[in-house]
Structure 1
Amino acid sequence: MTETTTTVLDDRAAFLDVADPGFMFTAPEVAAAREAHWYAGTPYGVMVLRHAQVQQLLRDRRLAQSGRRFLKLNGVTHGTVHDWFDTLLLHLRGEEHRRQRALVLQAFAPQALQRWRSTMRRTAERLADRLAGAGPCEFGETFADPMAVSVMSAILGVPLDDYEPRWSTDIGLVYSVGHRADALARVERSLAGLRAYADHLVSRHGTARTGDDLVSLLMSGYDGEGMDRTELRDLIVGLFFAAHDTTRNQLGQMLFTFTEHPDQWELLAERPELAEQATDEVVRWCPAAPAIFRFALEDVDFEGLRVPAESFVMLCVHAAQRDPRVFDSPDVFDITLRRPPLLSFGAGPHYCLGAATVKAEITEILTVLPRRLRAPRLTAPVVWRNPIGVCGPESLTVNFQPRTSRG
């Protein structure tokens, strides 16, 4: 990335080099920067660190997502990935956003979610048996990927045996195109695979639009909303991306956290009624998207800071959700504490559609795994994805022991 802002920073604001390959949002300098001022400078623009300011700016209509501007910041100004990323539901605004969101929202209503919870529980139980007998295993391959894909497949109406999970894993590297030499090529291949598969789904559903899965709901509604086949295809691709890659990374973050806090895992085994509260604590402690990206649509004056139009702004929910001005014992992972509402899922018109679904999925997992398995132990160093965008472990090798074993 290259710097695009001429924002004049307060002398109290620290500088955080988020472009450094070794940067982590858990680093002590991030917390120190938050205590020095409500924002910090970065190579790309301002990063907001405190809870109150992040909460306000999440709802500020003068700031918006933009796939085109994000990719331009990373040196990508044209091509297939550029054109697709700018049309993601996440990046749309106004009537176009409302129209597409209304179609998708049907599948995430509370009554619809209840239908999927039994699938979540059964899948977690089946995969728990796999973990119990695996010995040292890579958690993503053994549990997080098949869990996320199984739930995604049920919700979207996708047969498990004809879907390639690597597509929706690699497409998440779109946030790493400025940091990994192979990222753009992998995203291009994944996008091609997902688009072809989405076209197949649309064709298959063409004369059978009566199911209660998401693709059937989209097929039954898109003609009346004036959405053409290309828009429908890319909306489905975006849903694959969100439902698999983000969930997979959040599950990896969750599991790693419990390797560092085995006492909390054992507490869940004793008190499974804490699973829902533990889910909120996991997302507070280690959000898969540690910073939410915005761009200024116009010159923005906010609490003494002027952000010029077109400037990049990072809203660091990771730091904000550990802000001592709002949270008691913010640097303690404690599933028994009731915390203020999460910021991780955004706010306003772009509040995450799948928030309730991913929280339900994690809750079902945390109801099943601690009851069946002892606390996980790391057996190899963790390899992390770049923290910009959706972040989680690329390699998390752990060992579980079933509760029936001794020792």
Structure 2
Amino acid sequence: MGTPRFLPLADPAFDVTGEEVIAAREEGTWARTDYGYALLRHAEVTALLKDRRFRQGNARWPSQNGIHSGMFSDWWQRTLLSLEGQEHLRLRRLLNPAFKQGAVSAMVPGFTELAHELVDAFSERGRVELVTEFAEPYSSRILCRLLGLPETEWEQVAHWADDLGKSFGVRVKEDLPRIEAALEGLYGYCDAVVQDRAAHPRDDLVTRLVEHQQAGDLTAEELSVALVFLAFAGMETTRNQITLALRTLLAHPDQWRLLGEQPELGRNAVEEVMRVNPTVTWITREAVDDVDLGDGLVLNAGDIVQVLSHSAGTDPRAQPDPAFDITVEHPMHMGFGGGVHHCLGHWVARMDMAVALPVLAARMPDARPDGPGEWLPMSGNTGAIRYPIVFTPTPRR
């Protein structure tokens, strides 16, 4: 390949799904960016995510954005995203039981009921602001159920999670005061919940983690850090992915109608949306050894590589036809990462969205955007800030 392109991932105006990235993918397997190198093609991306010569590269995200100390930087280094080796495996093993497919499957009837309840509030009106009236309450209330938090407090949890979610955005330094205020709020809230469960055990995730702490399996600090991380990661990414799903599906009205008529397509619709319009637009890895990835890309230990999710997921080399189609099973997408850092909550996200999308499609069959909406930058973690939708009014159940 010739001189690799430079892709300005740190620029809030840059579209990581746009033509510049697609052109770079056609020229070669990689590009240069503000945050290290970027891999662009499906085969190379899937190989790297399984490559033991790399580790999760997120630990350096604050310093890459000029944040070298403070509450956010300290918390970030201790989250599951940044930990490696035995420490990572130990904490993941303690959290895993609550996120297994069987445990989540038992919650699916509740997901269905919640989706219909939320749609009932606006179905007769014929219009909805998707973020505040559906995506946010749906994802936040499910998170509260999963962790064992009071569902009546979903709005406060969602507010903190929304602000803390800005830590994954390219404006992270600019948003730092809001991020650290949300961290402080969530720490205080989660610590109060831990104290309550220590005194009044229940059948929920927080109680199980308190019992692990009491048994010496994790420290009080590890428990607090984990709960704060779960409270924001479990809500923010699902909310954003639902808005991106609607944006994609409404751009394909035939697919939207089909999903409403055949709800069993919900699971594959989730995979398709995450392939072509993921909220996590890149996944970070750091080389732990010197590595030659071919095509002229030679890395030194410590070099950062970004896996570009949309570029890899839509790579025509990996599939005969990469066009969006909820009836087709395409090769693996990168929306949940890969390797030992594969998303802990992927079954929750897959199942709650597989319920929500067909319910929305069935009850708003002719839905269409009411204007462009307002969106986070299409780089970093993305999604809607505001997304109004109109449709022919439909009756409550």
TM-score range, shorter chain: over 0.9
CA contact (8 A) 1:99 1:225 kept: no
> Which of 308, 311, 324 is matched with 1:319 structurally?
311
Instruction: Look up the SS of the partner of 2:305 in the other structure.
Output: strand
Deviates more, 1:195-204 or 1:154-163: 154-163
CA contact (8 A) 1:374 1:402 kept: no
Structure 2 Cα separation of the partners of residues 328 and 50 of structure 1: 15
> Which of 248, 258, 268 is matched with 2:239 structurally?
248
CA contact (8 A) 1:295 1:311 kept: yes
Deviation at 1:375, TM superposition (A): 3.3
Instruction: Look up the SS of the partner of 1:32 in the other structure.
Output: helix
Residue 160 of structure 2 corresponds to: 167
Residue 90 of structure 2 corresponds to: 99
Write out aligned runs for 1:196-207 (5 A).
Answer: 196-207=188-199
> Which of 298, 307, 316 is matched with 2:299 structurally?
307
Q: Do residues 186 (structure 1) and 178 (structure 2) align?
A: yes
Residue 214 of structure 1 corresponds to: 205
Structure 1 segments (4+ residues) deviating >4 Å: none
Q: What amino acid is aligned across from residue 161 of structure 2 in structure 1?
A: S
Deviates more, 1:188-197 or 1:336-345: 336-345
Deviates more, 1:127-136 or 1:389-398: 127-136
Write out per-residue CA displacement over residues 164-219 of structure 1, whole angstroms, 9 at most, x where no aligned residue: 1110011011123x5366410110010001000110110010033341x2212212
CA contact (8 A) 1:39 1:46 kept: yes
Write out per-residue CA displacement over residues 1-31 of structure 1, whole angstroms, 9 at most, x where no aligned residue: xxxxxxxxx5252222222221112211111
Q: Do residues 333 (structure 1) and 324 (structure 2) align?
A: yes
Deviation at 1:67, TM superposition (A): 4.2
Deviation at 1:311, TM superposition (A): 2.1
Deviates more, 1:12-21 or 1:34-43: 12-21
Write out per-residue CA displacement over residues 59-98 of structure 1, whole angstroms, 9 at most, x where no aligned residue: 2222222444111110000001000011111111111111
Greater relative contact order (Cα < 8 A, sep 6+)? 2
Q: Do residues 140 (structure 1) and 131 (structure 2) align?
A: yes
Structure 1 Cα separation of the partners of residues 173 and 285 of structure 2: 25
CA contact (8 A) 1:103 1:222 kept: no
Deviation at 1:280, TM superposition (A): 1.2
Q: Do residues 284 (structure 1) and 258 (structure 2) align?
A: no
Write out per-residue CA displacement over residues 111-156 of structure 1, whole angstroms, 9 at most, x where no aligned residue: 2112211121111111111231344432110100000011101100
Structure 1 Cα separation of the partners of residues 132 and 329 of structure 2: 32
Deviation at 1:382, TM superposition (A): 2.5
Write out per-residue CA displacement over residues 371-397 of structure 1, whole angstroms, 9 at most, x where no aligned residue: 222232111223221233321111211
Deviates more, 1:16-25 or 1:132-141: 132-141
> Which of 280, 286, 311 is matched with 1:295 structurally?
286
Instruction: Look up the SS of the partner of 2:343 in the other structure.
Output: coil
Structure 2 vs 1, CA of residues 60 and 196 (structure 1 numbering), >3 Å: closer, same or farther? same
Write out per-residue CA displacement over residues 324-380 of structure 1, whole angstroms, 9 at most, x where no aligned residue: 0112321x2111112122322122211111111101011111231222222321112
Instruction: Look up the SS of the partner of 2:284 in the other structure.
Output: strand
CA contact (8 A) 2:41 2:311 kept: yes
Structure 2 Cα separation of the partners of residues 53 and 101 of structure 1: 27
> Which of 73, 76, 79 is matched with 1:85 structurally?
76
CA contact (8 A) 1:138 1:396 kept: yes
Write out aligned runs for 1:266-281 (5 A).
Answer: 266-281=257-272
Consecutive unaligned residues in structure 1, runs of 5 or more: 1-9
Deviation at 1:246, TM superposition (A): 0.7
Q: Do residues 353 (structure 1) and 344 (structure 2) align?
A: yes
Residue 131 of structure 1 corresponds to: 122
Structure 2 Cα separation of the partners of residues 216 and 390 of structure 1: 31
Structure 2 vs 1, CA of residues 182 and 136 (structure 1 numbering), >3 Å: closer, same or farther? farther
Consecutive unaligned residues in structure 2, runs of 5 or more: none
Q: What amino acid is aligned across from residue 160 of structure 2 in structure 1?
A: W
User: What percent of counterpart residues are identical?
Assistant: 36
Residue 385 of structure 1 corresponds to: 376
TM-score, length-scaled by structure 1: 0.92
CA contact (8 A) 2:56 2:341 kept: no
Instruction: Look up the SS of the partner of 1:91 in the other structure.
Output: coil
Aligned residues: 393
Q: What amino acid is aligned across from residue 168 of structure 1 in structure 2?
A: A
Q: What amino acid is aligned across from residue 170 of structure 1 in structure 2?
A: D
Residue 14 of structure 2 corresponds to: 23
> Which of 211, 225, 232 is matched with 2:223 structurally?
232
Q: Do residues 40 (structure 1) and 3 (structure 2) align?
A: no
Residue 72 of structure 1 corresponds to: 63
Q: What amino acid is aligned across from residue 279 of structure 2 in structure 1?
A: A
Instruction: Look up the SS of the partner of 1:380 in the other structure.
Output: coil
